[in-house]
Chains A and B, each alone.
Chain A
Amino acid sequence: MRREAIIAVNRFGLGAAPGELATAASDPRGWLAAQISKPAPDHPAFAELAPSSETLKEYPRWIASLRMARGAPSASMGADGQPAVRGIEQNFRDFFGPGLMKEVGARLAAGASTPAPFHERLALFWANHFTVSAEKPVIFAVVGSFEREAIRPYVAGTFVDLLMAATKHPAMILYLDNNLSVKPGFTGPPNAGANAPRLTGLNENLAREILELHTLGVNGGYTQVDVTTFARVLTGWTVGGPANPGFAFVPRRHDPGPKSILGKTYAQDGIAQGEAVLRDLAVHPATATHIATKLARHFIADQPPPAAIERIARAFRESGGHLPTVYAALLDSPEAWDAPLAKLKSPVEYIVSCLRALPAAREAKPQALFFTLREMGQRPFFAPSPQGWPDTAAAWAGADGLWKRIEWAGTLAARAGSRIDPLELARESYGDAVSETTRLAISRAESRQQGLALWLASPEFQRR
């Protein structure tokens, strides 16, 4: 089943590493199934990264350094006497940038070398589903640990555990402002520092995005009243003070009493109320359809086939959101094995597949990869909004995005020198899915380098 192996390593994986196509060829479906039945192998790259419980303690240190900088007007004022727009950003990057670069490097290294690329794809899928983004500066130091602490351990578990872990992670609480949401009429002291803002009531950001993006979906049948009520349910879900900055439930911030969401009344006290709502949302039929649609769009086609969506959604409903069962339904969808090369790779998928194909390229500095990805429009850990990165060719096939891929392909090929036989590499990755046109173009190239650039920029290699 050579053809199924090509689909397994490219569509469901991250592109073939040397020898991977051959490994998968004996039993492509079994090769994939084995990756989702258990937790991912430990990536050595993650071993030395700091947990969120440590990096969150850096914020008070940074704020103190900022105050000192503010005390010196020349350091923070622009030529026009206004505070410099970039001053704080620069300061913040200097402070937290090295840690973020380690996260970027580790994540790309994991993608480039993992023997379980389908599992890795799912980790990236869920990290995007539960987007937290360093576009909001406070997230800078926890966006990487969020993925390692709240997403990766749950990829082969249940959706409710994943939802609970993601919602309770300090990165999500901070990204969607729930640390600032308190019961209406709250008068207690703020939880951090004398200069912290006074909190007076609800902030509905997290409640809305859980309903719209993480569970039911925008047409999932909830109302503005449900959003506001859910925000009241989630009051008190916050992060602790500087000494203990992890997730915390603070009862005095919580709006007590029974509340009704989507027609059901929740009588629980305290944190149990929010947990009960999340448990119900996690297994709601609208959630099943929402997740199934996103999985089918991500793995099968930009216009996902309705039969595949329904098959995956049914598996979700019947298993109560048991994710390996859901993934198995995806793999059982004939549509997923139909047309090869149906999806355009996102920039991250594209770069990682280059690194998998060319082990020598894995020595590239994380900064260089980070800036290349930024120029391609997908700066790692900086999704533009809580909706995450787009997942269709229309979003990635623009002129400038393609131009950057060609620039990168040319650069990488020049670096690889003449050591790589591009035709051999093409066969190693896409077997007989390489078109005659592409084969001819590579064989007629003026040099091995140019042949390699043509392959990396080819219609086949840009797709999965």
Chain B
Amino acid sequence: MTTRRDALKVLGGLAATATLPRLGLAAVPGSERRLVFVFLRGGLDGLSAVPAYGDPDFVAIRGELAIAPPGTAGGALQLDDFFGLSPYLGEMHKLYEARELAVLHAVASPYRERSHFDGQNLLENGTVKPFGRDAGWLSVALAEAAGASGVALGPSIPLLLRGPASVTSWSPSALPTPDPDLLERLAQLYRDDPLLAKPLAAARRAQGMMEGNDARAMGGGAQSVTALAKAAGTFLAKPDGPRVATIDFGGWDSHANQIGEYSPLTRNLRLLDRAVTTLKSSLGPVWKHTAVLIVTEFGRTVAINGSRGTDHGTAGAAFVAGGVVRGGRVIADWPGLSDRALHEGRDLRPTLDLRALLKAALVAQLGLGETPLETKVFPESRGLRALEGLFA
């Protein structure tokens, strides 16, 4: 069984083997590096995705929600001698075994209340307040990385990508493509209207990059997360395309009946598993330069609630996958699940600031230095170091 001290040793070991020894000294990565941000909106139940089966309090507090240990029927997939992975994340488990996926646990943004909407806003704007700013940290980071642009997969652009950077968005369409002459005239008509002129220019660029792709053949429903993952791969695989993509994936708010083959949580975990493999195959050779962050706004209560679900909580699990990831490990300073260990007597206690992961990804994938990271991208994060050794 892993103790808190063992977990700390894991972290120490990571630092020792890091190839990016210090922020600011890292070699600026090449422009082939790509970053995908998958936002699981609604609050992923971290202990369902990544059960801490080795914790002595796990079974008692989780009740019916306790996933059995690895090696038993319906049990977790083994990560190490303490943590497992949901049996519905089989493809992600293969990536873990191939050391292309790392798992983080007891991780949380600086948000300590329990509103989805404030929690998402804060995670997206990069400050420590829900309405701290009207721009997203990923847009600010892109603007710092000269010449880099982003794409939001879906019909609208999340706060995360709103702001100073050049950003487009794309999702499949069943309507006929407009006549080029009409588009030319509209570009003229929007000349003095930046609110429309900029998105039109961005949309035309995106359409150009997706030309020849049959959106409707992408499968899984036109707006499904797998279709969006496939499109993300197509965009990022273009040598002159965007370097960053975001995918919104909602429906994780599992207040009730979150177990069983047919529960919404199970369905979502399976979709996530499928989306990650779809993204990998769509990226092709670019996968080896890519980092995929899979993050949620907060975790959920540790104890099962009155209706076989969980309520809004604090810390939870996150994932990072891709060819640049030094994976095959769980990064967690495990706080424990005893009554005393829980945050406010109900939630998993955060021991890792999510922004440490986000900073590390921006260092590795966009070549950002410490100064812009702690002054512009995450303005209230001075002294919060990027996780070291996570990216090759």
> Residues of A with Cβ closer than 8 Å to B?
82-83, 85-86, 88, 135-137, 176-177, 180-182, 184, 186, 197-205, 208, 212, 218, 224, 227, 344, 371-372, 374-377, 384-387, 390, 393-404, 406-408, 410-411, 437-438, 441, 445-446, 450, 453-454, 457-459, 462
Contact = CB atoms under 8 A, between A and B. Distances in A.
The SS class assigned to the B binding surface is loop
B186 interface: yes
Nearest to B270: A85
Contacts of A182: 306
Contact of A204 (B168, B178, B267, B311): B311
Nearest to B190: A459
A297 to B, nearest CB: 13
Contacts of A407: 173, 175-178
B344 A400 contact: no
Nearest to A185: B306
A377 B311 contact: no
B134 interface: yes
A401 B306 contact: no
A400 B253 CA distance: 27
Contacts of B42: 385
A387 B116 contact: yes
A462 B196 contact: yes
A59 B221 CA distance: 24
A88 B262 contact: yes
B257 A385 contact: no
A232 to B, nearest CB: 11
B274 A85 contact: yes
B41 A402 contact: no
Contacts of A441: 185, 188-189
B178 A401 contact: no
Contact of B270 (A82, A199, A218): A82
A201 B175 contact: no
B182 A406 contact: yes
Nearest to B220: A86
B183 interface: yes
B25 interface: no
A400 B203 contact: yes
15 contacts: A82-B270, A198-B308, A218-B118, A372-B175, A375-B155, A377-B156, A399-B169, A399-B170, A399-B200, A399-B206, A406-B178, A407-B175, A410-B176, A411-B175, A441-B185
Interface string B17-53: 0000000000000000000000001100000000000
Contacts of A398: 152, 155-157, 169, 199
Interface of B: 41-42, 113-118, 130, 134, 152, 154-157, 159, 162, 167-179, 181-183, 185-186, 188-193, 195-196, 199-200, 202-203, 206-207, 220-223, 250-251, 253, 255-257, 261-262, 264, 267, 270-271, 274, 304-309, 311-312, 344
Nearest to A462: B196
Nearest to B346: A224
Given A200-B307, A387-B116, 8 more contacts: A180-B306, A197-B308, A205-B255, A399-B200, A401-B155, A401-B156, A411-B176, A437-B191
Contacts of B222: 374-375
Given A186-B306, A441-B189, A400 B171 contact: yes
A396 B156 contact: yes
Contact of B312 (A198, A208, A446): A208
A284 to B, nearest CB: 18
A407 B170 CA distance: 13
A407 B117 CA distance: 31
A410 B223 contact: no
Nearest to A227: B114
B199 A397 contact: yes
What 5 A-B pairs are tightest by C-beta distance, nearest first? A377-B155, A201-B306, A180-B307, A398-B157, A407-B175
A441 B190 CA distance: 11
Contacts of A453: 178, 182
A84 to B, nearest CB: 10
A182 B223 CA distance: 37
A184 B206 contact: no
A176 B311 CA distance: 11
Contacts of A375: 155, 171-175, 222-223
B229 to A, nearest CB: 14
Contacts of A390: 156
A202 B305 contact: yes
A446 B179 CA distance: 12
A399 B157 contact: yes
Nearest to A408: B175
Contacts of B207: 403
B114 A208 contact: yes
A376 B155 contact: yes
A371 B172 CA distance: 11
A454 B182 contact: yes
Contacts of A202: 305-306
A201 B261 contact: no
Nearest to A376: B155
Contacts of A399: 157, 167-170, 199-200, 202-203, 206
A259 B127 CA distance: 37
A201 B304 CA distance: 9
Contacts of A374: 222-223
A385 B176 contact: no
B250 A135 contact: yes
A386 B41 CA distance: 12
Contact of A200 (B181, B255, B306): B306
A224 B175 contact: no
B311 to A, nearest CB: 5
A459 B309 CA distance: 47
Contact of B199 (A180, A376, A402): A402
Contacts of B118: 218
A454 to B, nearest CB: 6
A218 B312 CA distance: 15
Contact of B186 (A199, A396, A457): A457
Nearest to A206: B255
